Amino acid sequence: MRRGVKVLTSNEGKFRELEALAKGYGIELEWVRTPKWEIQSEDLAEIAKFSAEIAFSMLKEPVIVEDTGLFIDSLNGFPGPYTSYARKTIGLEGVLKLMEGKNDRRARFVTYLAYADPFNTKVFVGEVRGVIADSIRGSKGFGFDPIFVPEGSDKTFAEMDVEEKNKYSHRAKAFRAFAEFFKSYTLESP
Ligand code: ITT
């Protein structure tokens, strides 16, 4: 039996990646194309949890939302919780400029994926380590994909199609953890 969950995000790229993963688990995702309601916090897990609870209270149906950040080691974790703001302001070129002359280019993407229904809110995490590329490469994906090379590959995420990115990505790991939980979960009060 296929089971459905809504996904609330303004980001089509996120939804397409999640949709490709969900198929393998027999989970049907329905895209609600609105930005999630967010609280101001430096804790991405807290943001995701709060956003899922608000989303559930609005939609009254099981829903997932997720919050992702790019953490660069030599910048003490920047942009982290400010990833969206950094993307809109300094952008890819700005991050590459901050990395000029740095030998340590290690970075990680972290996704907190939160699921909420009438009885539970659960948060799942996924992380991928990699490096910041020397230049912008590729035109697929979104966000910081053109400057992130995951461990185990020479390509940036933007040089990969969805299936290949899903083999490595933070989002895929978080979603798989959710799907493992969800496949044996029955929606009923504790
Ligand atoms: P919603 O909040 O509506 O889901 P968003 O794109 O704003 O969409 P986030 O706040 O989670 O989502 O994303 C923070 C930033 O990180 C944003 O600029 C994204 O483009 C970027 N980002 C998220 N996931 C990414 C990924 O897999 N690859 C590259 N950049 C990513």
Decide if 43 is catalytic.
Answer: no
pTM above 0.85, yes or no: yes
The reply to whether ligand 1 has any atom less than 6 angstroms from the CB of 145 is yes
The reply to whether ligand 1 has any atom less than 6 angstroms from the CB of 74 is no
Residue 187 lies in a domain: no
pLDDT at 186: 81
Closest residue (by CA) to atom 8 of ligand 1? 11
pLDDT at 190: 58
Domain that holds residue 63: 3-182
SS3 for 110-159, per residue? Answer: EEEEEEECCCCEEEEEEEEEEEECCCCCCCCCCCCHHHEEECCCCCCHHH
Closest residue (by CA) to atom 7 of ligand 1? 84
Residue 188 lies in a domain: no
Residue 120 lies in a domain: yes
Residue 161 lies in a domain: yes
pLDDT in tens, 4-22: 899 999 999 999 999 999 9
Pairwise pLDDT comparison (110 vs 188), residue with the higher score: 110
Domain of 65, CATH number, reads: 3.90.950.10
User: Averaged over 102-112, what is the pLDDT?
Assistant: 98
Residue 108 lies in a domain: yes
The reply to whether ligand 1 has any atom less than 6 angstroms from the CB of 68 is yes
Residue 65 lies in a domain: yes
pLDDT in tens, 113-159: 999 999 999 999 999 999 999 999 999 999 999 999 999 999 999 99
Number of domains the chain contains? 1
